[in-house]
Amino acid sequence: MVYVRQDKLPKLKEYKYSGVDHSLLSRYVLKPFYNNVVINCFPMWMAPNLITLTGFGFVVANFATLLWYTPTLDQDCPRWVYASWAIGLFLYQTFDAVDGTQARRTHQSGPLGELFDHGVDAINTTLEVLLFSATMNLGQGWKTVLTLFASLLTFYVQTWDEYHTHTLTLGVISGPVEGIITLCIVYATTAILGGGSFWQRSLFESIGVQHYSFIPNAVYNLAWNEWYMVYGGIVLVFNTVTSAQNVMEARRARGQKARVALLGLLTFALAWTLIPAYLYLQPAILHHHLVPFIFYAGLINAFSVGRMIISHLTKSRFPRGNVLIYPLIYGVIDSLGPWLQQHIGIGWPSALGDDVYQVAFVFMCLGLAVGVHGSFVVDVIWTICDYLDIWCLTIKYPHEDGEGDQKVQGKKVQ
């Protein structure tokens, strides 16, 4: 399958990065640290994408320890595990932040860098949901699913915003900055406390607040992890509304219909209508095999985000639909029949049942998602590298000061 059409390839040379970061933490703390300290640790021969991939390796290592110590997402791990998750995520954020600086100082900035950076971030989002759920001992259930929904929606809307405004906008509070730092603090605090069981306790009770009569029982008994989800929900709504306003203002300024852009959210809405429906109809998957299903759901989002980025880089029309949703549609229809028979007396038998074949179906969906998204990544990287005459993980044409000809995207411009 061709993901980048030949007539759109010339648009790659028109690409110019545009980003706005309103974060005070980023402006006064992180960026000075990155630009004055961290960037000096990387040699000039190291490709920016290799820095990104190396940083992602720390998160993969974190996920490997999760699978070993708490595959069910509800067991306390040794203290060093949580500490390693905090260090690994901080290193990932640091490497991910300096790859742009490395690209500029080695004169390797280009569309491949944005695609590679966003693609890795999309996978990391899903992995961090699992790591966070394990840290909070959320287990395999609806709390983990809700965390996944909030994280994927934030990433999807941010990319949707960038497609329409042509600018990556990070607000005063954003996932890539404050969100990651918050997670690092949570992981480190869990290491100090000795395990995720602490986050199951009532926040008010654990800090010594008396249960006054004016405090409802439901509020007083809210656990730390539930308060965190309330906080995340508020930030999610704020960022989503802000992105929608940015998109509408940008389209109005160009004389385009603002509401048409909202149709781009339908793909995400469809996926997240089917995901909870399937899990509700198949509680065995929800409570016993949620990790592979979360990977599948995460790859659905990563595939949509990847296609949005390609459309942004090549100035193509917004991509609608997602082929990875089709197996989920079948899964919901297949599981809906027995449920209808049980509740209204009319339905159809399930071809998969609710046992081993349903588990096999989830792993088949995961395998299909890995194959489709993997082919997308390989095809797009290969196409861009071939057209721009560059390499992905190494620098094909090192920049030399004092050269007579200017090099742009690895090619000499006369």
Q: Which residues are catalytically annotated?
A: 118
Q: How many helices (H) and strands (E) would you count in the chain?
A: 15, 4
- Number of Cβ within 10 Å of residue 194's Cβ equals 13
Which residues fall within 8 angstroms of residue 151, CB to CB, at 6 or more apart?
A: 125, 126, 128, 129, 175
Q: Residues 390-399, buried b or exposed e (16+ Cβ, 10 A)?
A: bbbbebeeee
DSSP label of 37:
T
Given a contact cutoff of 8 angstroms between Cβ atoms, the answer to whether 331 and 365 are in contact is yes
Which residues fall within 8 angstroms of residue 181, CB to CB, at 6 or more apart?
A: 25, 93
From residue 185, alpha-carbon distances to 37, 52, 132, 178 in Å are 22, 22, 11, 10
Given a contact cutoff of 8 angstroms between Cβ atoms, the answer to whether 145 and 171 are in contact is no
Task: Write down the residue that tokens 């900055």 correspond to.
Answer: 177
Distance CA 13, CA 159 (A): 21
Token reading at 132:
């966070």
End-to-end CA distance of the chain: 35
- Number of Cβ within 10 Å of residue 326's Cβ equals 12
DSSP letter for each residue of 240-257: HHHHHHHHHHHHHHTT--
Distance CA 384, CA 106 (A): 19
Q: Give the residue among 293, 316, 275, 300 at the shortest CA–CA distance from 376.
A: 300
DSSP label of 405:
S
Phi first, then psi: what are they for 170, rounded to 5°?
-110, 125
